[in-house]
């Protein structure tokens, strides 16, 4: 009898969702990703509504993964390295609360791992930089419009220009 795999979900807000989604898709054991909006107060938001700063949503990536092949900690490693968790409501040239740094946990175990890794990341930083990443329960996730899904892959790219610029200046 074949054992059924129990897939898990993880949800992260790390600025513009295009580059972060592409990074998660590179991890063996990640079964699927989808970009969308979460953490706000408007049902079924559109990209234009989220960008208007009226919905409270963050651009986010929902990752479906096989925990026997990819650990939640591996996903957290990608999350911490693919954005700047010390800038409030901003990533690179993108400014607004939809670009906030957030971990939306789906279980107490995910919450504990997120808090543990946040503390470890904070310990690596030099004062006065402070990590501003929110760690909150995962609310409803609204899938973004189709043209946002796997945006970089559809264009033959693997990262955003902003990420490259930030890496060069680091």
User: Nearest Cα to 14, choosing from 166, 170, 116?
Assistant: 166
Q: Is the dihedral of CA 27, 30, 33, 39 positive or negative?
A: negative
d(CA 153, CA 18): 9
Active-site option among 10, 14, 16, 30? 16
16 carries an active-site annotation: yes
d(CA 86, CA 131): 4
**How confident is the model at residue 154, as a pLDDT?**
62
Intervals of the chain under pLDDT 50: 162-170
pTM: 0.86
d(CA 132, CA 25): 25
Question: With contact defined as beta carbons under 8 Å apart, do 62 and 33 qualify?
Answer: yes
Per DSSP, the three-state class of 155 is coil
Residue 65 backbone zone (phi > 0: left; psi -120 to 50: alpha; other: beta): beta
d(CA 109, CA 157): 34
**What domains can be seen in the chain, in order of their start residue?**
8-169 (3.30.1060.10)
**How confident is the model at residue 18, as a pLDDT?**
78
pLDDT digits (tens, 9 = 90+) for 78-109: 999 999 999 999 988 889 999 999 999 999 99
Distance between first and last Cα of the chain: 52
Residue 129 backbone zone (phi > 0: left; psi -120 to 50: alpha; other: beta): beta
Question: With contact defined as beta carbons under 8 Å apart, do 119 and 130 qualify?
Answer: no
- Which pair of structure tokens corresponds to residue 62? 């929902």
């Amino acid at each position: 009898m074949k054992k059924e795999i129990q897939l898990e979900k993880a949800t992260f807000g790390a600025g513009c969702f295009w580059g972060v989604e592409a990074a998660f898709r590179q991890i063996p054991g990640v079964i699927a990703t989808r970009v969308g909006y979460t953490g706000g107060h408007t049902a079924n938001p559109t990209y234009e509504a989220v960008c208007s700063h009226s919905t409270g949503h963050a651009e986010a990536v929902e990752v479906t993964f096989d925990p026997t092949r990819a650990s939640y900690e591996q996903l957290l490693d990608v999350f911490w390295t693919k954005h700047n968790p010390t800038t409030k409501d901003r990533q690179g040239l993108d400014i607004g609360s939809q670009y906030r740094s957030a971990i939306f946990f789906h279980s107490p175990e995910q919450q504990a791992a997120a808090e543990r890794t946040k503390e470890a990341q904070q310990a690596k930083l030099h004062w006065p930089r402070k990590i501003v990443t929110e760690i909150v329960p995962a609310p409803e996730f609204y899938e973004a419009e189709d043209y946002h899904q796997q945006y970089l892959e559809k264009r033959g790219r693997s990262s955003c220009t902003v990420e490259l610029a930030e890496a060069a200046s680091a």
